[in-house]
A and B are shown apart, each in its own frame.
Chain A
Amino acid sequence: MNDLERLLAGPEAGDDQAMERLRAALASRAQEQNLLDIAYRTIDSPVGSLLIAATPEGLIRVAYARQGHDAVLTGLAERVSPRVLFAPGKLDDAARQFDDYFARRRHGFDLAVDLRLAEGFRRTVLQHLPDVHYGRTVSYGELAALVGHPRAARAVGTACATNPIPLVIPCHRVVLSDGSPGAYIGGPEIKRTLLDLEHSEIA
């Protein structure tokens, strides 16, 4: 390939800035045309990089790094819509609320949620979880009783393990009956970190 052909094939200085402008223009036009089926961004947090994704109805997914952000986006493309775009502006308010939560400036999230990824009993469990307030914990069995199925502690565990919107739907507040944290989507260390964060505030 000679010089002229190489110049034509690129890349060249300024291409990266042009890409940023392209992404911004596309995200805003897509939103105007109601084509932004899923907007996503990532945020840095004390528990690592978080992926957050929203449909026009509300927040549909929060994912920890260990869940594989690419895998999560692929799953959303498959199950909800392949019209997935990086659109950080659309999620500015959500990002700010996460920052405030980790800085202990807020105890709950004021965000619309889209629970279509959870069905049946799992969804019922997730809908009851916001009743477990900041700084409190319940056992799997207690939560099962709370939703009216006292013998369904195991199913409650599954609902927590498949929670598509952790943190906002606080499944980290569901612990073992002996009070130890137990398993968590983000890993047991993160569960401990979150419980400590919330508990030290109350104590």
Chain B
Amino acid sequence: MSLPPFDWVVTEYGQVVLRVCRALLPMHDAEDAAADAFLAALEAYPRIRPDSDVKAWLVTIAHRKAVDILRRRARHAVPVADVPERASGGEPSLADEALWAAVRDLPGKQRQAVAYHYVADLAYADVGAIMGTSEAAARRSAADGIKALRLRYPSASVAPDQSKPNKEMS
């Protein structure tokens, strides 16, 4: 069994890595971190075992890139708060950008656990391994994070359902 072309890895997991990075970092840093994560993955790719869990491997690399960037930001200058972000080319809807901002405001462990379980859909055993904690602790952090998000981002429980009739129309 041999490795498929790396391009197929980008096609299959590009979105999920981008979304994980957006959950962890402000948007301009997020896209930079995602590209750096894939560059590091490209370098190491010929050496991975063909039966590896590629998604967990990529999210682990993205996790390290994000930790590096946050550490660097913390060392230098005053962290720039979440200024309203330019949508560089793409048009993310406002509701989603607000959700990402809410995720980024979570405490570190909760933010990571939410990103790796709810955004990347990894099992808690993998989430724990990436965060350097136990499966149970990862599960707890994710549950706490989701609970906090529901409070800070209550509109998500009702708003984005496009199929419901708009009150103002009637």
Contacts and interface: CB of A to CB of B under 8 A. Distances in A.
A78 interface: yes
Given A82-B4, A83-B6, A85-B10, A13 B93 contact: yes
- How many interface residues does chain B have, given as a range? 35 or more
A37 B74 CA distance: 36
Contact of A3 (B32, B42, B93, B157): B157
Interface string B126-170: 000000000000000000001001100100111111000000000
B35 A18 contact: no
Contacts of A76: 5
B14, B42, B45, B160: most-surrounded residue (chain A CB, <10 A): B42
Contact of A77 (B3, B15, B158): B3
Contacts of A82: 2-6, 45-46
A196 B142 CA distance: 66
Contact of A10 (B19, B35, B157): B19
Interface of B: 2-7, 10, 14-16, 18-19, 23, 31-32, 34-36, 38-39, 42-43, 45-46, 87-93, 95-96, 99, 103, 114, 118-119, 121, 146, 149-150, 153, 156-161
Interface of A: 2-5, 7-19, 21-23, 25-26, 29-30, 33, 35, 38, 40, 73-74, 76-78, 81-86
